[in-house]
Amino acid sequence: MVKILHTADIHLDSPLKSLALRDETLRDTVHTATRTAFTRIIDTALRENVAALLIAGDLFDGAERSAKTAAFLISEFDRLKVANIPAFYIKGNHDAENPITGELNLPENVHVFDGRGGKIQLGERDIWIHGVSFSGRQALESLLPKFHAPVADAINIAMLHTSLSGAKGHDTYAPCTINELGEMGFDYWALGHIHKRQVHSQTPWIVMPGIPQGRDIGEASAKSATLLHINDGEITIEEVPTSAAEFIELQIDISACENDDLIRAELRQNLQIIAKNMRSDAGILRLTLSGTNARKWQIQRDQALWIETCAELARDTDRLWLEKLHFDLKTPDHLNAGGSSAVDELAQIMAEIQAEEGFQSELNANIEMILAELPAHRRINLLPDEETAKALGQQLASEGANRVLAAMKGAVE
């Protein structure tokens, strides 16, 4: 039995984007999450006594230069060196942007494939590792022609950083299709670039391991690396957990809760179950209260209290932290019966105002004025395009209208 560990898209020191960072207890965990994930990858390699570690691109994140990152990385690779475990690394688009990759002298057990491609035999085993790195910040053409032919009568593993045929949220780099990969004759494709784990094929194996540490709610759930088991020429795989913190989206239906005590009990029970079943050390929670409840307007009127209540219940688990609380509540039909009230008329007027072109223009102008006070890179991260800014304005206007209605309708207990 030979074991090999496959990972990609580590993005060392990439910041996690979360409002939960305001919690001092969680801050250190979040700030060091990508390093912790990489340390766990090394821990797994040592514990499983793997024959090799494969890093399929984007070990680094962007153009940030950090001597601490370099020292940390060398120290972790040295742990593998002591155990006689080689690491094979191909550069992805983020690595090509990072000045460290051109200056860092990695330990001799780390083999970095260049842009011309190559293959390395794994010790004296009949296993060959093939790889092609990005030679620049972009690889707009397929890199498949740069791969050497598979070695006959051996296990051949190919490493490639690619968007495949394209993926939402990812730039198109080193494009190729699953069929093209399958026709190349390799036994296992160790891919990288797309942050969602996916096994595209088992004959041959074509595996995108996903990011080992999610960085925002768009990369929710626990993350992992992929462990290969090679036995008599047959390959099987398993997931191994890596993430220090995971982003969680949770919806709790409070329709059956007739009072605040029952709502809190329902929240407590659900949060404890989530915390118990988590694979990561910490969970960053985006919670939605949903359902049909007679206390809808009172709950939304007191949303500041409910935010603090949910945050406290999350902290009581010792593993969960609240990032955001949303409300998706409806009023029972019997409470909606009857004629139109002054509050209902106000709701209609506010809806009409929100739809007016002049209101939307002024709202967008105010958002632009606020954003102008931020550094350029922060503005791009928050609102990368005009459509996103417009959607934010509509969301804020809708939330503001609901708060007015909640203050008025919630006044009647």
Name 340's Cβ contacts closer than 8 Å, sequence gap at least 6: none
Q: Which of 123-127, 324-328, 329-333, 394-398 has the lowest mean pLDDT?
A: 394-398
Q: What domains lie within the chain, and their CATH numbers? A: 2-243 (3.60.21.10), 245-337 (3.50.80), 338-413 (no CATH)
- 228-250 pLDDT, tens digit each: 999 999 999 999 999 999 999 99
Q: What is the mean pLDDT of residues 300-317?
A: 94
SS3 state at 164: coil
- Rg (alpha carbons) of the chain, rounded to whole number: 26
**What is the residue whose two structure tokens read 């949910």?**
310
Helix, strand, coil proportions of the chain in percent (round to 5)?
Answer: 40, 25, 35
Distance CA 155, CA 128 (A): 6
pLDDT at 97 over 60: no
Q: Which residue's structure tokens are 């209101």? A: 359
* Higher per-residue confidence, 188 vs 382: 188
Helix (H) or strand (E) holding 282: strand 282-292
Mean pLDDT of all residues belonging to the chain:
87
Q: Kindly state the average pLDDT of the residues 160-177.
A: 79
Averaged pLDDT for residues 57-65: 76
Q: Say what angle helices 357-371 and 342-355 make with each other, to 10 degrees.
A: 70
User: pLDDT tens digits for 309-339?
Assistant: 999 999 999 999 999 999 999 988 766 655 4
Asked whether the beta carbons of 51 and 2 are under 8 A apart, the reply is: yes
- 59, pLDDT greater than 80: yes
Name the residue type at position 195.
H
Which is higher by pLDDT, 23 or 218? 218
**Closest CA relative to residue 251, chosen from 228, 281, 274:** 274
Closest-CA residue to 62 (of 117, 15, 28, 103): 15
Position 413 scores a pLDDT of 47
Q: What is the average per-residue pLDDT within 60-71?
A: 76
| pLDDT score, position 37 | 96
- At residue 341, the pLDDT reads 73
Pairing outcome for strands 188-192 and 127-131? unpaired
- Does this model's pTM top 0.75? yes
Number of H helices, E strands in the chain: 14, 15
Query: Does 102 have pLDDT greater than 60?
Result: no
